[in-house]
Structure formats: C-alpha cells, structure tokens
Amino acid sequence: MRPAAQRRDVGQPVVDFDLFQTTKEWLLPSSTTKESNMSMKLYAHPFSSYCQKVLIALYENHTPFEFCMLAPGDERAAAEHEALWPLKRIPVLVDEGRAVVEASIIIEHLGLHHPGPVRLIPEDPRAALGVRMMDRFFDNYIMTPMQKIVSDSIRAAEHRDRQGVAESREMLDTAYRWLDDAMKGREWAAGDTFNLADCAAAPALFYADWAHSIGAFSSVHAYRRRLLARPSFSRAVDEARPYRPLFPLGTPDRD
C-alpha cells in the first residue's frame, strides 16, 4: 500500500513523488512545463518511480505529450492535479480532457489509444497475462517494500516501524531470490521483447538496490544493467539526476 497522501497547505509544500513524501521543504527548482500543442498532459515529477514507469512507455514510442511538473510551491499545478485526482497521487495522464490514473492503467491506455511501434502489452491474451503478472510482481513485491523502507527513514525516530522495515527487507530478499531464478536465460522480464513488465521493473529495481542491496543475485544485477542501458529508461534516469538529494537514504556513487 502506498503512503497516504497529505494535504498541500500554503507555506507547507509536500514532496509527493510516490517514492516517499515528507512535509520538509526541499530546495527544488520552480515548477516548469514543457509547452506543447499535443492533447496529452502528464502530471508528474521526474524523480518519482511510478512517473518514470509511465515516462519509459512514452519514450519507447516517442509519444508526444506535455509534461506538467508537480513541485512544492506551485499552487496552480497542485490545484489542477487535485481537481483531476483528489487522492493526489502521481502520475496522472490527461488525454482529451479525460484523467487516467495509476501507472499500469496509463500504459494500457496508451497502448489502446496511442499505439506505437513498441507494443508494451502483447496482443495474445495468454502472453499478456504473463506480462501483467510480472508488472504486479515488480509493483507489489519490489516497489512496495522499497517504499516502506524509504518512507520509514523520514519519520521521527519515535514513530519508526522497525518490524515493518525488517519485514520489507525480508520480502525484498525473497523477491530478489525468486527473480534471480526467473531471469536466468531471459533478456526481459516477460517474453522476448521489452514490455509493460520492464517499464515496472526499471524504476523498481533501480531504487530498490539503493534502499536494500540486491546483493549476490547476479541475474538480477545483469537485468538491472540491461534496463539502465535501455534508452527510454536512461533518459528518465538522466532527467531525474538533479533531484537525487531528495532520496533520504543517500544515493550511491554509481548509476
């Protein structure tokens, strides 16, 4: 379960990037929007793991869109975002006036309404089921426990959940072990081509290795390297580099 959203009170900007959130005021550049005549807008932040998941899908197919930056202090963007999705989670895609929420659903929407040369959901329903299963694996068993570890680190010491963090680390170890065996002989997470599952895997494994090392699982490390070399994810990583001081556990001198 993702951390509950917090109110954006004037003078108390909230960092709400899916990875973590805090009422501490971070030093962020003012919000910027890439102007475009395209009908689609993406309300997002480049450092958010779930936003990166959608950005990868957009970049894979060179799909044009307008990037609407959400950052503390930008009350206009925050108000637009809340009006579209009162739960105030990101990303939110607006396509011809319709708000589409949840990263996996946004990618499904793109495949239906803005298909490109890279098919991220297989046409065959049996193959698609395997892709969706792996997408759920990365969100539920890599991303979720990673977020628990990160969000707990920014709590006051007296409110930290040591047992919950220990359970999250145990879940990550179990997930890494299972994935290491599953990835032997595979290039991508599900099937022979890059797809939705890999869009989920890229930011999940990227940040998870920062929060709880992948350790000796060589197949997972090799897969993570292939994801980092993928141009769509490499671009998302580079765009997020200015925001690395936001990661409360500190960032390694790599990636």
Query: Residues 79, 43: contact at Cβ < 8 Å?
Result: no
The beta-strand segments (E) located in the chain are 15-16, 21-22, 40-44, 66-69, 92-95, 98-101
pLDDT at 38: 58
pLDDT of residue 35: 41
pLDDT grade for 12, boundaries at 50, 70 and 90: very low
pLDDT digits (tens, 9 = 90+) for 222-235: 999 999 999 999 99
Model pLDDT for residues 98-126, shown as the tens digit of each residue? 999 999 999 999 999 999 999 999 999 99
pLDDT of the residue at 37: 44
Q: By C-alpha distance, which of 9, 21, 62, 19 is closest to 155?
A: 21
Residue 3 has pLDDT above 80, yes or no: no
pLDDT at 213 over 70: yes
Sign of the alpha-carbon dihedral angle for 174, 144, 216, 54: positive
Residues counted in the chain: 255
Stretch 141-152: mean pLDDT, rounded?
98
Q: Which residue has the higher pLDDT, 22 or 219?
A: 219
Least confident of 4-13, 27-36, 126-135, 217-226: 4-13
With 0-12 CB in 10 A as exposed, 13-18 as middle and 19+ as buried, what is 56? Answer: buried
The torsion defined by the Cα of 162, 167, 168 and 170, in degrees rounded to 10, comes to 130
Beta carbons of 68 and 42 less than 8 angstroms apart:
yes
Dihedral pair phi/psi, residue 43, rounded to 5°: -85, 115
Distance between CA atoms of residues 53 and 76, nearest Å: 25
User: Taking phi first (over 0 means left), then psi (-120 to 50 degrees means alpha), and beta for anything else, what does residue 191 get?
Assistant: left
**Per-position DSSP letters for 125-183, written without gaps between them:** HHHHHHHHHHHHHIIIIIIHHHHHHHHHHTS-GGG--HHHHHHHHHHHHHHHHHHHHHT
Ramachandran angles phi, psi of 54, nearest 5° = -75, -40
Tens of pLDDT, residue by residue over 56-94, are 999 999 999 999 999 989 999 999 999 999 999 999 999
Percentage of the chain beyond pLDDT 90 is 84
